[in-house]
Structure 1
Amino acid sequence: MPADPDGYIHARNADGYQRLRDQAAMWREATETVLDRIELAPGISCLDVGAGPGAVMRLMADRVGAEGRVTGIEIDSELGAQALADLRAQGGSTFEMVAGDMLKLKEPPGAPFDLVYCRLFLMHMLDPVAALEKMAAWVKPGGVIAAQEFDFGSIGIEPPCPAMAEFNRLFEGVFRGHGRNLRAGRQLPAQFEAAGLGLPDGTEACAKFIPLKDMAQMLIGVYQSLFASAVELGIADPVRAEAFKADMTEAGEDGRYYCLTPILIAAWKRLA
């Protein structure tokens, strides 16, 4: 079976789902900043495209309240169903989840929305402009379209770390080999223009520079989640993967290394 039968190059398993939850927790504050700058109001409707474990839907619900409505689209039906169950158990808003490929959806239930948003979604799209065009069609007049994407140009470890060289080799090889975008964040303004939205009304960027001990397991998780896609391309094997895990674990325990994360870049536009 191809590693990415529906376009997703990471593994879909319990470890992969937990990695998504950990990633969401790491970038929660950056996303809260964007949602607050957009000025979500109580009672409005929001759509999260590529909702994953529902972390951003929770942040939306915290802002739109009990009278608001928060819908997600998630192609992984298992992940989406669990996210919806968790959100409804927590309460605080009206939640819905649509299982499916957004590019194949004519219109999600509840459209149009006051906010249509995606995070770490366009970087997986072979045609991100087409995805933005579809998202824009689901926005109410006067509503907002927003995207928040990684730019991987900054990621690195200081002082130089051999384990990071192996991470970069596999990561960049998989992204390029499967036609994915390593610079999605910095390309958002151009993609907005190409989708007919005009230049963004606002942007926001966030990066972290933290001890490697706080990032090593995340980097190992990303490597492992891309392993099947890397094998498909002929650029990975189990022996090399085990050596990377040991080397990155050792570097994380060393204490002298610091990791500069990718830059998480957001852009948004209020539509006429």
Structure 2
Amino acid sequence: MTSSTARERYTLGHHPSVLRTHSWRTAENSAAHLLPHLHAGLRVLDLGSGPGTITLDLARLVAPGSVIGVDASDEVTADARARAAAAGIGNVSFTVGDAYALDLPDDSVDVAHVHQLLQHVADPVAVIRELRRVVRPGGVIALREIVYGGAVWYPLSPGLSRWMEVYQELARANGGEPNAGSRLKSWAMEAGVADIRSSASVWSFETPEDREWWGGAWSERARTSSFATQALETGIADDADLALISTAWRDWVGADDGWFAVPHGEIIATVR
């Protein structure tokens, strides 16, 4: 383990408020840039598969091909296996693994997909190099990451401004890069990937249901998740800050004119 990866820590943790939002993700709303490159019979790696909702969609799209989901969490991986069993999807498997040292042979998958993982790792270039190792020549690496610093919202409030300050500082203290989406192209180039197509897409939330889903989760995270405990442990925020942030999110949820959007960077890279 290098000195950079030794200080790596997952900012969001696996609190129910986190898993609830992660389970909203689908191939359609979170991997649209990859979909044109999928077809039946492919072997796909989904690295950082979490609760498996995107992974299962990928499995449906490439059947009778196969998908392997890899995540660092035993608990989340067990949940993903249960989700696959309940859905009756048999061409998918889930395993606990290390993004820096995948238990896969060289040139063994057609597609490697990563969504919202590289923002949390201390050496994203090393992870992309590992993806390049396991993807066969002519295969595809698909990455998508958020750009937290590009988020915009209305109504404005000191609490949401403080949320952004705390999140940016805490993510970097944990060894990550909260604006990873803007760095994907440069990281892939540094990793030796040459054939890169970059794009961007946006998550936006404005209906009462969407505001409750996004803002309600963040209101809860600000008080009870790893985000809260780590912010307190590091001194990046205090109880008053977290109360302000939590209340601001709850107020935003209740605002009829509430609106939030956050951009994502994406790349599709062909391995040569």
TM-score bracket relative to the smaller structure: 0.7 to 0.9
State the alpha-carbon separation in 1 of the partners of residues 117 and 241 from structure 2: 29
AA aligned opposite 1:251? W
> Aligned with 1:72: secondary structure?
strand
For the Cα contact (< 8 Å) 2:51–2:76, is it kept in 1? yes
Deviation at 1:131, TM superposition (A): 0.3
Q: State the aligned residue count.
A: 261
For residue 263 of structure 1, what is the aligned residue in structure 2? 263
Deviation at 1:155, TM superposition (A): 0.8
For the Cα contact (< 8 Å) 2:160–2:248, is it kept in 1? no
State the alpha-carbon separation in 1 of the partners of residues 201 and 220 from structure 2: 22
Deviation at 1:86, TM superposition (A): 1.1
AA aligned opposite 1:19? T
For residue 53 of structure 1, what is the aligned residue in structure 2? 51
State the alpha-carbon separation in 1 of the partners of residues 203 and 46 from structure 2: 24
For residue 77 of structure 1, what is the aligned residue in structure 2? 74
Deviation at 1:188, TM superposition (A): 1.0
Query: Identity over aligned residues, as a percent?
Result: 23
TM-score w.r.t. the length of structure 2 is: 0.86
For the Cα contact (< 8 Å) 1:170–1:223, is it kept in 2? no
State the alpha-carbon separation in 1 of the partners of residues 111 and 29 from structure 2: 17
1:234 aligns with 2:230: no
AA aligned opposite 2:153? I
Deviation at 1:94, TM superposition (A): 1.4
For residue 33 of structure 2, what is the aligned residue in structure 1? 34
For residue 95 of structure 2, what is the aligned residue in structure 1? 98
- CA gap of 1:69–1:190, structure 2 versus 1, over 3 A, is same
User: How well do the aligned residues superpose, as a CA RMSD in angstroms?
Assistant: 2.3
Deviation at 1:111, TM superposition (A): 6.3
Runs of 4+ in structure 1 deviating by more than 6 angstroms, as ranges, are none
Deviations along 1:107-159, whole A, 9 cap, x unmatched? Answer: 33796101011000111111100000001100012211111111122212224
For the Cα contact (< 8 Å) 1:10–1:229, is it kept in 2? no
For the Cα contact (< 8 Å) 1:156–1:164, is it kept in 2? no
Deviations along 1:2-56, whole A, 9 cap, x unmatched? Answer: xx9863122223333223213x25xx43434222222x11111100111100112
For residue 17 of structure 1, what is the aligned residue in structure 2? 19
1:181 aligns with 2:177: yes
For residue 144 of structure 1, what is the aligned residue in structure 2? 140
Q: Which runs of 5+ in 2 are unaligned?
A: 1-5
State the alpha-carbon separation in 2 of the partners of residues 183 and 166 from structure 1: 17
Q: Which runs of 5+ in 1 are unaligned?
A: none
For the Cα contact (< 8 Å) 1:10–1:16, is it kept in 2? yes
